């Protein structure tokens, strides 16, 4: 998005709370980055922690206040700026600092506030804040917007603005060869699932479907690409996945690769890209990225995904958590390579028409311009 915002209209500065991978990538691309340190306790706060979350917030309060003061000073020093936030935590502290500095704020909502993902009090509180703090709430899909409205956000506050991908990007053959060498790609088909290791992302559905697929394609390999990023829930889930892979003697066929930054190259190595979230996906950026490469995608029919995939034409949709349906869809695509290639071609064309980063940057830029103008 930063690479494609109109430089005649915007001079972006990115605020991060630590010098992690995102910071390094932004600096490498010569974007302006400011680090405002924030206690790691804030990063660990989550909707599933209950009373522990409240206690953690109290302990982290001094760090949060210090960061808010620094952010307020930064915003006050920049006349005519607008704040764009990209996560729920950032929505809250970014909007508070913006209000104190008398600067407009726009939220970019990437979470689908479904009842099975967020407790009722959490949804109502966030909706109350959304109706009062930002000028707009941009949503990464129509499904995300619907969930906001159902939570109590006013329709005039929320608008869909899908985040696009670079449809002109290419992957160097050397990078493809390196990934195949590092991950041990076999002579048979490669199926890639990209996403952080987490229960709702449904990597266990792939583990359950693998034995059925292996009966028809003994050389197939599944790459589960991603890390367990957010606390004990994710790490314990990863441990259970490894145990199930071991118990099923699937070690040669189901590979947990850990976190990787070279996702485009991983997708280029994959014959089919999988998406197996068992709860509604807000949008599914990895799905669009795979489609942009002309890869056939098998994805879960929930959340914003049906907005992206035309079932049977630009991809294949299966019910959430249905391992037999996933295995059947995989086998059908692998048995009919021409049909799989046709789906991939149609997918690439659909992304070029609907999800280019240029169009996305224009949509988001227009919204930021309106917020600056007070419209």
Q: How far is CA 374 from CA 103, 159, 160, in A?
A: 10, 16, 19
The DSSP call for residue 311 is: B
| Residue 94, CA atoms < 13 Å, CB-side half-sphere | 23
For residue 35, what are its two tokens?
A: 């680090």
Tell me how crowded residue 32 is: count the other CB atoms within 10 A of its CB.
12
For 213-231, the pLDDT digits (tens) are 999 999 999 999 999 877 7
pLDDT at 229: 77
Tell me how crowded residue 311 is: count the other CB atoms within 10 A of its CB.
13
For residue 268, what are its two tokens?
A: 């280029």
The DSSP call for residue 130 is: H
For 62-117, the pLDDT digits (tens) are 888 889 999 999 999 998 899 999 999 899 999 999 999 999 999 999 999 988 88
CA distance linking residue 31 with residue 39, whole number of Å: 24
For residue 322, what are its two tokens?
A: 């249905």
| Residue 78, CA atoms < 13 Å, CB-side half-sphere | 17
CA distance linking residue 2 with residue 11, whole number of Å: 9
CA 211 to chain centre: 28
For residue 170, what are its two tokens?
A: 């290419």
pLDDT at 79: 87
Tell me how crowded residue 262 is: count the other CB atoms within 10 A of its CB.
16
CA distance linking residue 119 with residue 181, whole number of Å: 44
Handedness of CA 66, 69, 74, 77 (dihedral sign): negative
Q: How far is CA 162 from CA 127, 141, 247, 282, 360, in A?
A: 20, 6, 41, 10, 6
pLDDT at 103: 95
Q: How far is CA 199 from CA 166, 195, 280, in A?
A: 29, 11, 13
**Contact criterion met (CB below 8 Å) for 191 and 270:** yes
- Pick out the chain residues at pLDDT < 50: 49-52, 54
């Amino acid at each position: 998005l930063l690479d494609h915002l109109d430089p005649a209209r915007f001079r972006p500065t990115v605020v991060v709370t630590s010098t992690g991978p995102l910071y390094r990538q932004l600096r490498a691309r010569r974007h302006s980055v400011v680090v405002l340190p924030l206690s790691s306790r804030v990063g660990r706060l989550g909707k599933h922690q209950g009373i522990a979350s409240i206690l953690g917030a109290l302990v982290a309060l001094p760090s949060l206040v210090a960061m808010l003061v620094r952010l307020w000073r930064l915003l006050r020093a920049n006349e005519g700026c607008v704040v764009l936030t990209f996560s729920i935590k950032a929505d809250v502290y970014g909007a508070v600092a913006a209000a104190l500095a008398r600067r407009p704020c726009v939220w970019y909502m990437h979470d689908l506030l479904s009842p099975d993902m967020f407790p009722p009090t959490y949804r109502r509180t966030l909706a109350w804040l959304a109706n009062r703090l930002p000028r707009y709430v941009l949503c990464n899909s129509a499904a995300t917007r619907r969930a906001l409205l159902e939570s109590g956000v006013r329709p005039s506050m929320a608008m869909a603005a899908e985040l696009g991908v670079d449809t002109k990007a290419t992957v160097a053959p050397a990078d493809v060869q390196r990934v195949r060498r590092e991950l041990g790609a076999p002579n048979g088909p490669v199926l890639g699932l990209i996403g952080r290791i987490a229960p709702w992302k449904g990597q266990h559905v792939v583990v359950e479907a693998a034995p059925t697929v292996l009966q028809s394609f003994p050389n197939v390999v599944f790459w589960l690409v991603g890390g367990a990023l957010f606390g004990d829930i994710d790490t314990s889930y990863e441990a259970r996945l490894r145990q199930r892979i071991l118990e099923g003697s699937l070690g040669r066929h189901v590979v947990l690769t850990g976190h990787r930054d070279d996702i485009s190259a991983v997708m280029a190595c994959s014959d089919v890209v999988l998406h197996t979230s068992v709860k509604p996906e807000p949008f599914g950026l990895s799905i669009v990225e795979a489609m942009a490469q002309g890869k056939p995608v098998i994805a879960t029919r929930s959340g914003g995904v049906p907005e992206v995939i035309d079932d049977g034409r630009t991809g294949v949709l299966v019910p959430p958590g249905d391992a037999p349906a996933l295995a059947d869809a995989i086998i059908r695509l692998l048995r009919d390579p021409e049909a799989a290639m046709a789906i991939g071609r149609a997918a690439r064309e659909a992304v070029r028409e609907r999800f280019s980063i240029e169009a996305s940057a224009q949509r988001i830029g227009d919204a930021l311009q309106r917020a600056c103008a007070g419209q």
